[in-house]
């Protein structure tokens, strides 16, 4: 495994990871709303852009830890459609940061068998950003150890609207019968159709909302809120979230007696 995936994996780290993997089932798909960069920066007397720069190191650490744990898909809510309303200088700085990070980390992603995938309204991005994203996705498209799914210029409402439009087009052309439209068909037209729904949704920074993130897909996600700002959220905090996930009873509308006791671990 290339150097950067071993850089922070201490013996204690390996032990915690093995305990998590052996305790009970880990989520196949984790979604994270990475929030709090600006407030972290303000508390430290820094600019908002410096907060975003600091958040990159958390991305790196969480990607490493997720790959080591065997998580199949990690979706990071990087930039929402609503974020386009932010000051232009902040948006420009974020896009430059994205370009710089992709240029620096693409080879490491590829060497560690990680596929990069992007969901969102990509036509709103600049040509330069779109090109480097497309180039990275092309390079890593056959990688199979984990998918790093970047939600960029994304919103859950946009995702549902674009799915409904595509289904409506099929219905109008006679390709499908409107009576055949069901949950499975909607699933198949969402931007996340190739992934399982996220079993665990994490939001940092102490806010208690999901902010238009994977609204349909998170219907039965376990939601974990933490007061930790994103630049301070590292693998230790991820392990805490996973322990909490493993301690929850996931019933999906059933009773406790109907649920397979092997699929969860009860609170003591």
Q: What are phi and psi of 155, to 5 degrees?
A: -150, 150
When pLDDT is cut at 50, 70 and 90, the band that residue 228 belongs to is very high
Q: How far is CA 132 from CA 1, 90, 102, 103, 129, in A?
A: 25, 20, 7, 8, 5
Specify the pTM: 0.92
As a whole number, mean pLDDT of residues 4-26 equals 82
The verdict on whether 35 is a catalytic residue reads: yes
Catalytic residue, chosen from 12, 37, 61, 83, is 83
- Following DSSP, what letter does each residue of the chain receive, concatenated? --GGGTTT--HHHHHHHHHHHHHSPPPSEEEEE---HHHHHHHTT--HHHHHHHHHHHHHHHHHHHHHHT-SEEEEEEEEGGGGGS-HHHHHHHHHHHHHHHHHHHHHHHHTTEEEEEES-GGGS-HHHHHHHHHHHHHHTT--SEEEEEEEEE-HHHHHHHHHHHHHHHHHTTSS-GGG--HHHHHHHSTTTTSPPPSEEEE-TT--S-TTSSTTTTTT-EEEE-SS-GGG--HHHHHHHHHHHHTS---TTS-GGGS-GGG-----
Segment 101-153, tens digit of pLDDT: 999 999 999 999 999 999 999 999 999 999 999 999 999 999 999 999 999 99
The residues with which 146 forms a beta bridge, in sequence order, are 114
Ordered structural domains, the chain, with CATH: 28-155+197-247 (3.40.1180.10)
Segment 35-85, tens digit of pLDDT: 999 999 999 999 999 999 999 999 999 999 999 999 999 999 999 999 999
> Is residue 204 predicted with pLDDT exceeding 50?
yes
Question: What's the start-to-end Cα distance of the chain, in Å?
Answer: 37
| 3-class secondary structure per residue, 133-174 | HHHHHHHHCCCCCEEEEEEEEECHHHHHHHHHHHHHHHHHCC
As a whole number of angstroms, the longest Cα–Cα distance in the chain is 60
d(CA 137, CA 141): 6
The verdict on whether 83 is a catalytic residue reads: yes
Give exposure, 223-252, as e/b (b: 16+ Cβ within 10 Å): bbbbebbbbbbbbebbbebbeebbeeeeee
Catalytic residue, chosen from 12, 13, 35, 149, is 35
> Is residue 209 predicted with pLDDT exceeding 50?
yes
- Residue 123 burial (CB count, 10 A): 7
The residues with which 115 forms a beta bridge, in sequence order, are 147
- Residue 255 burial (CB count, 10 A): 7
């Amino acid at each position: 495994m290339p150097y950067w995936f071993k850089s922070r994996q201490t013996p204690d780290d390996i032990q915690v990871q093995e305990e998590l993997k052996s305790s009970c089932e880990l989520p196949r798909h984790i979604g994270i709303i990475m929030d709090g960069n600006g407030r972290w920066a303000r508390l430290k007397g820094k600019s908002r852009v410096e907060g975003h720069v600091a958040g990159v190191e958390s991305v790196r650490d969480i990607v490493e830890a997720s790959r080591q744990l065997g998580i199949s898909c990690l979706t990071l809510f990087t930039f929402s459609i609503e974020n386009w309303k932010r000051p232009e200088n902040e948006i420009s700085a974020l896009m430059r940061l994205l370009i710089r990070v992709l240029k620096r980390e693409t080879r490491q992603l590829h060497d560690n068998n990680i596929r990069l995938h992007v969901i969102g309204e990509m036509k709103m991005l600049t040509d330069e950003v779109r090109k480097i994203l497309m180039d990275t996705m092309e390079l890593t498209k056959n990688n199979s150890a984990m998918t790093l799914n970047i939600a960029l210029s994304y919103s859950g409402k946009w995702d549902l609207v674009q799915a409904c439009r595509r289904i409506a087009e099929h219905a109008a052309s006679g390709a499908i019968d409107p009576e055949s439209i069901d949950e499975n068909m909607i699933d198949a037209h969402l931007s996340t159709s190739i992934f399982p729904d996220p079993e665990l949704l994490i939001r940092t920074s102490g806010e208690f909302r999901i902010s238009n993130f994977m609204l349909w897909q998170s219907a039965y996600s376990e939601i974990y809120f933490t007061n930790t700002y994103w630049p301070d959220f590292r693998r230790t905090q991820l392990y805490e979230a996973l322990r909490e996930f493993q301690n929850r009873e996931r019933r999906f509308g059933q009773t406790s007696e109907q649920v397979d006791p092997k699929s969860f671990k009860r609170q003591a």
